[in-house]
């Protein structure tokens, strides 16, 4: 497996193009299952998870043709068409590799009237059950049973609109319910819906396909079911996690970088934290300008929350930044119960972090030290890259496979702005 080597200390200057969002692209690709007409997606990032989702869809008889774009950060195009569904089973071997595979559950049921999808099981960042997804589909009239590790569901007479009230916010369950409801008979009201921009993006694409949806971006989404959806084209929104990660790369390494093709409102909860920590962040016509010169970052505390709060997918990167800041920061993780796997690796780089339940207490050190490190999820891996940018000496991040799942050409984007970073193929 490839490794990434970073020699710390270089400041970053220039421009980083931001790619389309992985967590928008995955459900958008799944939406192709809802219609026999073509769905064209542009600004799709070239990532392992995206290729994996295309393979999963092909498994159901979907044609998925990829056209790459030459320029860095521009994304490619997927032409997807589910003219004939040839299967409705997603095997364990597929779902265990990528939890987002479970998003096919609602669309398969809505389109074909049945679905058999492996239960995903736990993953490195926590137990991550799918009970809310199942309850939502049951509310829409599906008969759901669990057998041999699979969820088997039938809706022979079609799904029926219903009130779905989630007890807490789930991005994936909201997406599953939203997609299924587009073809359900009558009105569905999803209360306590997730408000993540990726849901808004999915809703816009579904609307372009002929779905009748209101309340996008709020916690109450109303869907009036239609008989069928039609062809559409949609551009994937910019990746807010990639935006936040590179903003923090500049905050930790110093320098001035414009993040292009992105938007300030996507990282609204991060900007005040970065400013408080001593980084300048300003919106530009093309995206965001991020700069830090001279002084060491100062400590700021943060807690993860559903959107519009501070995202769990930026928590590890923020901890790397705080590990070098002046003072002590409390970082609380409220979404996943096991999302501090980066802590032992940061400790090996000389960080001073104590974990107390759901809170990491981070006392910044003036300089981290390079070390060989490894992480078991993609955001944690990116935090180790950030730590490596600020560390003295050489950091080698192992298991780059995780980074390739969610960051398009990371080492190329960072080396273009002056980081001393390279991929070491094995
Ligand atoms: C999405 O995962 C993202 N994945 C995650 O990004 C992200 O961390 C997460 O949302 C939170 O923002 C994709 O969009 C593909 P949830 P999802 O359902 O939908 C619990 C990354 O690094 N829960 O909002 O799986 C769950 O265990 C990834 O790109 C239930 O208990 O997240 C968690 O504690 C990692 N029952 C909380 O809810 C359910 O049925 C929020 O999870 C569903 C969720």
Sequence-distant (≥ 6) Cβ neighbours of residue 377 within 8 angstroms: 123, 124, 125, 339, 341, 402
pLDDT at 100 (0 to 100): 94
Closest-CA residue, ligand 1 atom 4, reads 23
What residues of the chain score a pLDDT lower than 50? none
pLDDT at 112 (0 to 100): 96
Closest-CA residue, ligand 1 atom 20, reads 128
How many residues appear in the chain? 426
Q: Separation of 170 CA from ligand 1 center, angstroms?
A: 6
Q: Separation of 327 CA from ligand 1 center, angstroms?
A: 31
Is the pTM higher than 0.95? The answer reads: yes
Mutation to probe ligand 1, out of 172, 304, 381 (largest number of atoms < 8 A from CB)? 172
CA distances from 25 to 20, 21, 175 (A): 7, 6, 12
pLDDT 10s digits, 327-350: 999 999 999 988 999 999 999 999
List, by residue number, the catalytic residues: 123
Q: Is residue 411 within 8 Å of 418, Cβ to Cβ? A: no
- List, in sequence order, every residue forming a beta bridge with 67; answer none if it has no partner: 77
Residues lining ligand 1, CB < 6 A?
Answer: 23, 26, 99-100, 126-133, 170-173, 311-313, 335-336, 378-379, 406
Query: What value does the mean pLDDT of the chain take?
Result: 95
pLDDT at 122 (0 to 100): 66
Closest-CA residue, ligand 1 atom 7, reads 313
Backbone angles phi, psi at 222, to 5 degrees: -115, 130
Q: Separation of 172 CA from ligand 1 center, angstroms?
A: 6
pLDDT 10s digits, 123-178: 777 778 999 999 999 999 999 999 999 999 999 899 999 999 999 999 999 999 99
Indicate which atom in ligand 1 lies nearest the CA of residue 406. 29
CA distances from 377 to 179, 247, 400 (A): 27, 20, 10
N-terminal to C-terminal alpha carbon distance within the chain: 6
């Amino acid at each position: 497996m490839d490794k990434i080597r970073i020699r710390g200390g270089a400041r970053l200057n220039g421009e980083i193009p931001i790619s389309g969002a992985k967590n928008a692209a995955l459900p958008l690709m799944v939406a192709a299952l809802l219609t026999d007409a073509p769905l064209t997606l542009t600004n799709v990032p070239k990532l392992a998870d995206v290729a994996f989702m295309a393979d999963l869809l092909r498994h159901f008889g979907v044609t998925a043709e990829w056209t790459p774009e030459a320029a860095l950060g521009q994304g490619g195009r997927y032409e997807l068409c589910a003219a004939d569904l040839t299967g409705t089973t997603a095997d364990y071997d597929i779902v265990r590799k990528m939890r987002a595979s479970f998003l096919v559950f609602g669309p398969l049921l809505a389109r074909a009237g049945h679905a058999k999808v492996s239960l995903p099981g736990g993953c490195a960042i926590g137990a991550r059950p799918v009970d809310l997804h199942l309850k939502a589909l049951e509310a829409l009239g599906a008969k759901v049973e669990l057998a041999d590790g699979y969820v088997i569901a039938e809706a022979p007479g079609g799904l029926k609109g219903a009130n779905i009230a989630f007890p807490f916010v789930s991005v994936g369950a909201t997406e599953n319910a939203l997609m299924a409801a587009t073809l359900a008979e009558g009105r569905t009201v999803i209360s306590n819906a997730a408000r993540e921009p990726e849901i808004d993006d999915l809703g816009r694409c579904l609307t372009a396909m002929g779905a009748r949806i209101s309340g996008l971006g709020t916690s109450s989404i109303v869907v009036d079911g239609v008989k069928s959806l039609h062809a559409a084209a949609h551009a994937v929104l910019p990746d807010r996690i990639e935006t936040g990660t590179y903003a923090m790369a500049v905050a930790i390494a110093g320098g001035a970088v414009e993040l292009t093709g992105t938007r300030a409102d996507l990282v609204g909860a991060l900007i005040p934290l970065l400013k408080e920590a001593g980084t300048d962040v300003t919106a530009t016509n093309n995206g965001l300008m991020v700069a830090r010169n001279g002084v060491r970052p100062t400590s700021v505390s943060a807690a993860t929350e559903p959107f519009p709060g501070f995202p769990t997918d930026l928590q590890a990167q923020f901890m790397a930044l705080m590990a070098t800041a002046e003072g002590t920061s409390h970082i609380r993780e409220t979404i996943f119960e096991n999302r501090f796997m980066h802590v032992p690796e940061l400790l090996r780089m000389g960080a001073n972090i104590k974990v107390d339940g759901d809170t990491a207490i981070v006392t910044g050190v003036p300089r981290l030290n390079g070390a060989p490190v490894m992480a078991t999820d993609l955001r944690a891996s990116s935090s180790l890259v950030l730590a490596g940018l600020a560390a003295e000496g050489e950091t080698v991040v192992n298991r780059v496979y995780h980074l390739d799942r969610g960051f398009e050409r990371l080492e190329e984007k960072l080396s273009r702005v002056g980081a001393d970073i390279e991929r070491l193929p094995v």
